[in-house]
Amino acid sequence: MTSASELRSGKTHRDENFPVASWIIHPRHRDLILAFYNFVRTADDIADHEMLDAETKLEYLDLLEAELLGRGETQPEAVHLRRALAERGMPPRHALDLLTAFRMDVTKLRYEDWDEVIHYCRYSAMPVGRFMLDVHGESTTTWQASDALCAGLQINNHLQDCGKDYRTLNRVYLPRDVLDAAGAKVEDLGLQKSSPALLKCLQGLAVSTASLLGDGRPLAAEIKDFRLGLEVSVIQAYADRIVRMLQTRDPLSERVHLKPIEFVIASFGAMSSEIVRRSFGKGPVSHPAPRA
C-alpha cells in the first residue's frame, strides 16, 4: 500500500481554525502534541479523501492503528506517535478513539438526532481535549468541561462546513430530526444560499451549540497549568465568536470564520482576562469526575 503520508491533504497545524501547539504551550510538550496532530491529520485526510473508496480508507485506518500499537514500521506518523507516547509513559487511547470517529466518517453519512451527533463528538473531538489535559498532567475532573468545549468546537465546524461536506463527501452531520422539524431538506445543502427552512435549522443548532460551549466555559479555571489555561481561554473565545456568527449568518453564502486580525484581538482579550483571573480571582473549580 502507498504510505498514508502520501495521501495527506497538505494541511498542517498552522492551517487549523484553532491553535495547535502554539507558542503559548510549553516547548517540552510541543513535539508530543505535534506527533499526535500529524497522526490524527493523516487519518482524517484518509477518511475525507475524495479518490479512495470506503474499503481502502478502512484498510489504511486499520494499518495506522496496527502500527500505533507496535505492529509494523511502515507508517511514519503512527511510528512517531507510538515512540513519543512511550517516552512519556502514555497509552494511545485518545488516538484510538479518534480512529473510531474516522471509521464512522467512512461508514456513517447521516445522523438521526442530537444525541447521535454528540456520540460522534465523543470520538471525534473529546479525545483531543482529554489528550491535551493528560499531556499536562491535569486531573480527569477537568474532562467534563473539556468534553463540552471540544464538542462545541466540532459542531461549530460542522455548521461552518455543512455545504462542503455534503457536496464533496455526501456527509451530513445536521440531525435529521432537526432538519425535518424546520421543514428543511438535505438537498438544500447543495444550494449557494440556504433556504429559509435550512437557515432556521442551522441557526437553531448554533443556539444549542452555544449552550454546549457555555458548559465548557469553566475549563480554563479548572486547569492548573498556566500556559494551557491561557490556550484554552483563547480557544473558548474563538469558539464563542464563531457560534455568535452562526446564529445570525448563513454558512452557505456568508463568511463564518474569523479574519486574522479578529483572531489576534480575541486571543489577546482572552489571555488578558485569564491572566487577571489567575492573578486576582478564584482558583480552579472542582467538578465530579466524569465517566471515561
C-alpha cell at 235: 480557544
d(CA 217, CA 222): 10
Which regions of the chain does DSSP assign to beta strands (E)? none
Question: Quick check: 219 and 281 in contact, CB under 8 A?
Answer: no
- Classify residue 233 by burial, with Cβ atoms within 10 Å: 0-12, 13-18, 19+: buried
Question: Quick check: 187 and 176 in contact, CB under 8 A?
Answer: no
- Select from 125, 191, 119 the least CA-distant residue to 162: 191
pLDDT of residue 282: 58
Q: Give the SS3 label for residue 126.
A: helix
Lookup result for grid cell 452555544? 210
Question: Quick check: 171 and 47 in contact, CB under 8 A?
Answer: no
pLDDT of residue 1: 60
d(CA 174, CA 176): 6
pLDDT of residue 291: 42
DSSP designation for 20: S
Question: Quick check: 149 and 236 in contact, CB under 8 A?
Answer: yes
DSSP designation for 142: G
Question: pLDDT truncated to tens, each residue of the chain (292 aa)?
Answer: 667 777 776 655 444 555 555 668 889 999 999 999 999 999 999 999 999 999 999 999 999 999 999 999 999 999 999 999 999 999 999 999 999 999 999 999 999 999 999 999 999 999 999 999 999 999 999 999 999 999 999 999 999 999 999 999 999 999 999 999 999 999 999 999 999 999 999 999 999 999 999 999 999 999 999 999 999 999 999 999 999 999 999 999 999 988 888 878 888 888 888 889 888 865 544 444 444 4
pLDDT of residue 289: 40
pLDDT of residue 263: 78
Chain center to CA of 68:
21
pTM as predicted: 0.89
- Side chain identity at residue 264, one-letter code: V
